[in-house]
Every structure is written in C-alpha cells, then in structure tokens.
Amino acid sequence: MNELRTFGWYATRITPHLPKEAFSPAPSRLWGGLLYLLVATLGIVVIGILALPVWANGLISLVIGICFSGMSCLGHEILHGTVVRKRWIRNWLGAIAFMPLSVGPYLWTKWHNQTHHIHTQVEEKDPDHWATYEQLLDRPIFHQMYKLPLVVRSIVHFCSLLILFTIFSTKMFFNFIGAFKRKKQPFVYMQFIIPWAIWIGLLLCMGPVKWLFAYLIPLLITNFILMCYISTQHNLNPLGDVNDPLVNTLSVTVPKWVDFLHFNFSYHTEHHIFPGMSSKYYPLVKEQIKRMWPESYHELPFGKALLAIFKTPRVYAGNTELIDPHQKKVYGLLGHGLDPRNIRPKEYK
C-alpha cells in the first residue's frame, strides 16, 4: 500500500505545472449562473400564468430542474471563493445559487468547506461519510431494513436520492447551528428560513398543482442529479485518518456537454486537492495527477460508478470494506479489492 499523503502535499507538487491564471478568480462563470437563473425564473412564471397541458408543464419542470442543479454546482464553486474573492459578494451569490435547495452560505461553508474538506472520510469527523456497522448496531430500524434483499435496498436508496440532499442538508442545519457563535446564529436561521418562506409563499400564490411543476418536481430533479454525483464521489472509497484525496475520493467521467452544464462537477479528486481553484482548470490538474500518480488515481465512468453503488451496501465494515449485515457478506472498496466490472462479495469473518 502506498504511503498516505495530504491534499497539500499533492498541491505543492502540481502547482509548478499549472498556469498562474489557474489560481485567480474566474468571474466569467457567473454568466452561466445568470442564464440558469433567468431561464428557471421564466419557467416558473410561465407555469404560473399560463394554463398549459400537463406534458408542457412537465417539460418546463425538467428544464427548471436542470437549471436548479446547474445553479447549485456553481454555488458550490462560488462559496469556495473561486469565482469572486470578496466574502460578502460570494455569500450573496451563493445564497441565490443555493436558494432552490434552501441551503444558506454560512451553513454550507461550515459544513462543506470547513468540515467535510478538512476531514474527508475520517470517521466521526466527516459529516458526509456513511456509517460503520458498529455505529448502527443499536438501531432497531437498521436491523429491520437490512433484512430486505440488497437489490430492494438499492432500489430504495436510488429512489431516496430524489429527496436525500434536502433531508440531509436540513439535518446538517440542526447539527451545526450550535457550532456558530451566538451573534451569528440569527443570520444562519434567516438563511435557512427565508428560502423556505419564498417557496411556501409561491405555493400559496399559484396553488398546489402549478407549484408541483414550478418547484417540487424541479427540486426532486436537482436532488437526484446532485446526489448521483455525491454518492459516487466518496462512497466507494475507504475511510481513514489521513485525508488523502487520491485514496478517499473518486472522479467520474461524463460527456463534455454534461461537464459544461455542471461546471466540471465530475472532477472531484481534483477539487479536493485544489478546493480554492476554479473548476475550469481541473482538466489541467487531472493531466498532472495522471502523469505523476497514475496508479493511485481513481476514475470511473459515471454509469459504472452508479452501478457499483447499486451493487454494494452502504455500511462500512472497518475502513476498507462495506458489509451487508443480513447476508454477512463484505465488499471491497477502491484500492482494496473493488473491481467495478465484476463485483463479488466474500464471507464476513
């Protein structure tokens, strides 16, 4: 097994091979966000004022959902400071970009930037990692759920992706609100409440049927797109005490037009090495990683990564295996025996 390194160790060695502009803000990214915002707003207005057939409203809902997901990918980049540097501007822009998901910039920065990125896949410290077998032993619902066949659980898991980001971000709000200083907590509450007040106000204004197409369906689409990315980015990787992005993170490959729509959100290992760099330069970072550490870099086609998620359970047995508690089968992880082309479990010892 190779020696574990920190993200700073990799960044130091890659930096000399990158252009200087890669370390500057990229405000031109905001044009894409503005287009998404205008199209989504227009779609909501059209659904609200016109009596369209169901198929037309459904098509507009799909477009709004694509816009919402693109805005969220850009919001992620904005709040890392890679688009604009001034804190108050990026907080305002981040709040707008994340409004469809009702996630405030203060919460996102505390949860994602300051916790997940610092403690990626570190047990008990990373709020985004899946639980271990030992952590779930005293939960009765866990034992009942895992009596279901793996394929049934996987179907339920994939269906849950439609709402999982919204549920998890709400949980993170209550988990982290106490971590803010008392004088800052009212602003965190406001950033959580105001978006929900806007969406509920829209419901009261246009009625439940139009609201279903104008907001709820696009929200489900956004949840699903983001959670498909998030599920693959770390959930096939081991846990560990050293935050090594080449060990604990996976980049997926998608068509170029998908990367265009999602601001290179698929380049996740690159992002964990350079979280303060605009994702427009991540293809250059990827070239250097594959040149320097080709045997350590984890990369899978998006479809194969999702299929591997579907075929494996979501509970860790120690740091380097996943376990199906009911069948007593364990599955390897990336770098520890997982072959996405031929996923085979072994007996739990």
Q: Is the pLDDT of residue 1 over 50?
A: no
Name residue 337's beta-bridge partners.
333
* More confident site: 346 or 126: 126
SS3 325: coil
C-alpha span between 304 and 166 (Å, rounded): 25
Q: Which amino acid is at 139?
A: R
pLDDT of residue 326: 79
Indicate the domain borders of the chain. 7-131+158-314
d(CA 309, CA 19): 36
pLDDT score of 304: 96
Mean pLDDT, residues 225-239: 96
Per residue in 191-224, pLDDT (tens digit) is 999 999 999 999 999 999 999 999 999 999 999 9
pLDDT band at 2 (very low <50, low <70, confident <90, very high): low
Asked whether the whole model's pTM tops 0.85, one would answer yes
What does the pLDDT average to over 261-265? 97
The model's confidence at residue 170, banded by pLDDT at 50, 70 and 90, is very high
Q: Interhelix angle for 29-49 vs 185-206, to 10°?
A: 40
Residues 66-95 have a mean pLDDT of 97
Tokens of 259: 């990367």
The pLDDT, as a whole number, for residue 327 is 79
pLDDT at position 310 is 93
Give the single-character DSSP code of 25. Answer: -
- Runs of H (alpha helix) within the chain: 7-14, 29-49, 54-78, 87-97, 105-108, 133-136, 140-145, 150-160, 164-176, 185-206, 208-211, 217-234, 245-248, 256-261, 268-273, 282-292, 302-311
Q: How far apart are CA 173 and CA 180, in angstroms?
A: 11
Look at residue 275 and tell me whether its pLDDT is greater than 90.
yes
Q: What is the pLDDT of residue 135?
A: 80
Tell me what the mean pLDDT of segment 10-34 comes to: 96
Going by pLDDT thresholds of 50, 70 and 90, the confidence category of residue 144 is confident
For residue 299, what are the β-bridge partners?
251
Least confident stretch, 140-144, 187-191, 310-314: 140-144
pLDDT at 283 over 50: yes
The 10s digit of each residue's pLDDT in 37-57 is: 999 999 999 999 999 999 999
Is residue 140's pLDDT more than 80?
no
- Could you report the per-residue pLDDT of 285-328, keeping only the tens digit for each? 999 999 999 999 999 999 999 999 999 998 899 899 999 887 78
| Edge-to-edge order in the sheet of strand 321-324 | 321-324, 329-332, 346-347
Poorest-pLDDT segment among 26-30, 56-60, 154-158, 212-216? 154-158
**Mean pLDDT score of the chain, rounded to an integer?**
94
- Give the pLDDT confidence score for residue 134 in this predicted structure: 83
- Give me the pLDDT at residue 147, please: 80
DSSP secondary structure, 300-320, as one string: EEHHHHHHHHHHS-S-BSSSS
